Amino acid sequence: MSENRMPLENLRVIELGTLLAGPFSGRLLADFGAEVIKVEPPGKEDPMRNWGKSRDGVGLWWPIQSRNKKSITLNLRVKEGQEILKELVKEADIVIENFRPGTMEKWNLSYEELSEINPRLIMLRTSGFGQTGPYKDRAGFGSVGEAMGGLRYVTGFPDRPPSRIGVSIGDTLTALFATIGCLVAVHEREHSGKGQMVDTALYESVFSVMESIIPDYMLAGYVRERMGNILPGVAPSNIYFTEDKTFIVIGANADGVFRRLCEAMDQPGLAEDPRFSTHHARGENMKLLDSLIEDWTKKLSAKDALKILEEKGVPSGLMYTAKDIIEDPHYNEREMIIKVDHPQLGEFPMPGIVPKLSRTPGKVKNPGAESTGKHNHEIYENLLGFSKKRVGELREAKVI
């Protein structure tokens, strides 16, 4: 592979989903060079175009979610639209959809039907509860997946109702698992020559990161509860108030790191105190230990406390806001805030590429199509070979 090429540029992806989980997978593939063709119904744009804050009538979330993608319109609810999608499938490697299970089948676009047209096709199917099982027909958003996957029950403080994380973590976790599944299927296809279906459920993706809650319950009779800013039995790992009325986070639960924290606090004897000298003991005496640490941090500014902790090699940091992030030199050095030219807003800042490949890194070439159907001519006429007359007729009939 030429080092000027991007690692996934030989893949063509048809993205049929809306909002978060499915399109986030499309974004990840597009970041590394896949040609992602986003399909929206004519006259009914993806709601994500208008989610979040806006400026000059432009939604500020959309360019991030849709970067590097092309946009076409196509009505999948009518037979002619379904037949056109099948023409696209012949030229595609991957189809992404996140409709309720049964929708694609209702449209005569099941994986079985599409794979007959293109046996190498890989289909990413993201839904609330998966394509099988007694709950498969239920509607499911990320919030429900977070709740039924076990995350929301343990999020928040013990004296308050379950809380949510401040971002749509259920959707993005699911997209990450779906993308992993997609790349696994692409790799396997090199050996078998055959595609397959990747079935990813919101609740399962959340459940997969829930650590040991199941053996904790089944083998130890323990139900993990809401613990606020701590982890049960893991100390010190908390946030601590400082002299300048802000919070810093300190994670020093490993024995060696805890010893260095004690040195930073100028209390080396704490590391030998039987109440704190082992991981188990620190967990048992968490409240007392946290109060001793905060007695120290409250006498220092956040900047001074973090300087001492850094010198001693103790993991620590500020609670970053967006302002802190954009002012941080490490973010800048790592190119984690990039600026892309937007046709309406000019220079548009957005998150950089993750992960970073040393030889064939990803790239953001554009902020996505600012209008639906921007690439209809390119895809329908150039890729599928439709005449201008036919494209005009399809537009008139509201098929595209």
3-state secondary structure the chain: CCCCCCCCCCCEEEECCCCCHHHHHHHHHHHCCCEEEEEECCCCCCHHHHCCCEECCEECCHHHHCCCCEEEECCCCCHHHHHHHHHHHHCCCEEEECCCCCHHHHCCCCHHHHHHHCCCCEEEEEECCCCCCCCCCCCCCHHHHHHHCCCHHHCCCCCCCCCCCCCCHHHHHHHHHHHHHHHHHHHHHHHHCCCCEEEEEHHHHHHCCCCCHHHHHHHHCCCCCCCCCCECCECCEEEEECCCCCEEEEECCCHHHHHHHHHHCCCHHHHHCCCCCCHHHHHHCHHHHHHHHHHHHCCCCHHHHHHHHHHCCCCEEECCCHHHHHHCHHHHHCCCEEEEEECCCEEEEEECCCCCCCCCCCCCCCCCCCCCCCCHHHHHHHHCCCCHHHHHHHHHCCCC
What pLDDT digit, counting tens, does each position of 327-344 carry?
A: 999 999 999 999 999 999
pLDDT at 127: 96
pTM: 0.93
Question: How would residue 1 be classed by pLDDT, with cut points 50, 70 and 90?
Answer: very low
What would the pLDDT profile of 14-49 be if each residue is shown by its tens digit?
999 899 999 999 999 999 999 999 999 999 999 999
CATH of 237-324, one of 3.30.1540.10, 3.20.20.70, 3.40.50.460, 3.40.50.10420: 3.30.1540.10
Of the residues 31, 46, 171, 199, only one is catalytic, namely 171
Domain 12-209+335-396 has CATH 1.10.10.60: no
Residue 46: active-site member: no
pLDDT at 183 over 70: yes
Asked if domains 12-209+335-396 and 237-324 share a fold, the reply is no
Segments making up each domain of the chain, as ranges:
12-209+335-396, 237-324
